[in-house]
Structure 1
Amino acid sequence: MIQQVCDRETDRPEQRVKERTTAKPTGKGSPLQEVYVNTSSLRVDAVLRRVCRIFAATGGIILTALTLVTVGTVLGRAIFNTPIPGDFELVELGGAIAVSFFLPYCQIHEGNVIVDIVTAKAPQGVKRLLGALGDLLLLVISALISWRLIHGCLQYKDYGDVSMILQIPTWWAIPPIIAAFILLTITCASTMVTNLLAIGGSEDAK
């Protein structure tokens, strides 16, 4: 299991670019064209990873702030018999935002749980193909959730729904979640393309 994780971590886009640029021409296209395409995809991947890292860091900051709110509520109730008003509302809204901000980072680093009992000894190309299919499925789901979140956000705004104690408009928490799921959709597309290119690279190596 540890060896599989190490193989997955070392199979980076940078390594695949180097392998493809040093490969002999096969007649399918100019080596310079392959270098240009792979270099461009590498730049896009680097930018996407940076954006996912920013989202994850922001989610961590939000989660830390919510932890401090919870601690303040416990201490306030124990010492002064006065909890922070609306603490559960802040945890509810902020927790939803924080969790959604972690999803793109988890996806681009292949951190999702994978049940590989059947495919543990399968060829690398088969694993990459199954990974691409999983990315496609998650892409469709995240795009669908993004669409419904936009629809729900507009409805909450029209209804004027607010929280019970702090009177915070409910729809305020939805746009950041929409942005996170749109980023997740883009990330799924990127990882799917990466897996498909890895399949082509393994076939060329053979």
Structure 2
Amino acid sequence: MLKTLERMLRWSAGLMAAMALFAIMWLTLVDVTGRRFFNHSVPGGLEITEILMVIVIFGALPMVSWRNEHVVFDSLDAWLPDWVRGIQARVVNLVCALTFASLGYLMSTRATRFAEYGDTTVYLQLSIAPVAWLMAGLLVLTALVHLLFVFVEVPVPSPHHPAPAQLEEPAP
């Protein structure tokens, strides 16, 4: 089951973030080349880059959380027993789930407000609401990943046993 969830995350949020990063790369290449050789940049390039950066950052959040690759303060872990680190990991995942869910809720209220007011980008006049809804959805997805790890045993990194890059399913 965990492998299936990881595959779904990789093919949804991970692929979306990767495609957005690839688009930023090409947009930057075309923009710089246009400015350098044709004295003309891509119209609205900055706005497009900003939207794509949102997709890269928020699309990567569920994958970073799934792989437990966030920044960790672990200077006391060498002195904590494994059972304490297990409880600590569940509490931290619960706090993260609540935090991301709250941020997702706040972003959804902001997205609703953007849609009601008809807010758009300055140059290209693109609606901001769909971008904010995407941010809210990805924040909620990240919250669900952390909530899953409250109830499902996650390999807890220790000084002697680092966390694996991918979660393994138990043998039948």
Residue by residue over 1:15-47, the C-alpha shift from the partner in whole angstroms, topping out at 9 and shown as x without a partner, is xxxxxxxxxxxxxxxxxxxxxxxxxxxx2x233
**Cα distance, 1:74–1:129 mapped onto 2, change above 3 Å:** same
Q: TM-score, normalised by structure 2?
A: 0.84
Provide the rounded CA distance (Å) in 1 between the counterparts of 2:149 and 2:10.
Answer: 15
Structure 2 counterparts to residues 77-116 of structure 1, below 5 A: 77-116=35-74
Structure 2 counterparts to residues 65-84 of structure 1, below 5 A: 65-84=23-42
Match of residue 162 from structure 1: 120
Q: Unaligned 5+ residue runs, structure 1?
A: 1-42, 199-206
**Cα distance, 1:80–1:188 mapped onto 2, change above 3 Å:** same
Identity %: 20
Match of residue 8 from structure 2: 51
Q: Shift in Å at residue 179 of structure 1?
A: 1.8
Q: TM-score, normalised by structure 1?
A: 0.71
Point out the structure with the larger helix share. Answer: 1
Q: Shift in Å at residue 197 of structure 1?
A: 10
Structure 2 counterparts to residues 5-84 of structure 1, below 5 A: 43=1, 45-54=2-11, 55-84=13-42
Mapped contact 1:129–1:195 kept (Cα < 8 A) = no
Provide the rounded CA distance (Å) in 1 between the counterparts of 2:37 and 2:150.
Answer: 53
Q: Shift in Å at residue 71 of structure 1?
A: 1.4
Are 1:185 and 2:135 matched, yes or no? no
Provide the rounded CA distance (Å) in 1 between the counterparts of 2:90 and 2:65.
Answer: 12
Structure label with greater radius of gyration: 1
**Cα distance, 1:47–1:164 mapped onto 2, change above 3 Å:** same
Mapped contact 2:16–2:55 kept (Cα < 8 A) = no
Q: Unaligned 5+ residue runs, structure 2?
A: 157-172
Match of residue 81 from structure 2: 123
Q: Shift in Å at residue 172 of structure 1?
A: 2.1
| Counterpart residue type for residue 132 of structure 1 | R
Match of residue 94 from structure 2: 136
Q: Shift in Å at residue 78 of structure 1?
A: 0.2
1:120 aligned counterpart, secondary structure: helix
Q: Shift in Å at residue 120 of structure 1?
A: 2.0
Match of residue 37 from structure 1: none
Provide the rounded CA distance (Å) in 1 between the counterparts of 2:8 and 2:138.
Answer: 10
RMSD, matched Cα: 1.7
**Higher relative contact order, structure no. (Cα contacts within 8 Å, ≥ 6 residues apart):** 2
How many residues matched? 155
Structure 1 stretches (4+) deviating beyond 2 angstroms? 45-48, 194-198
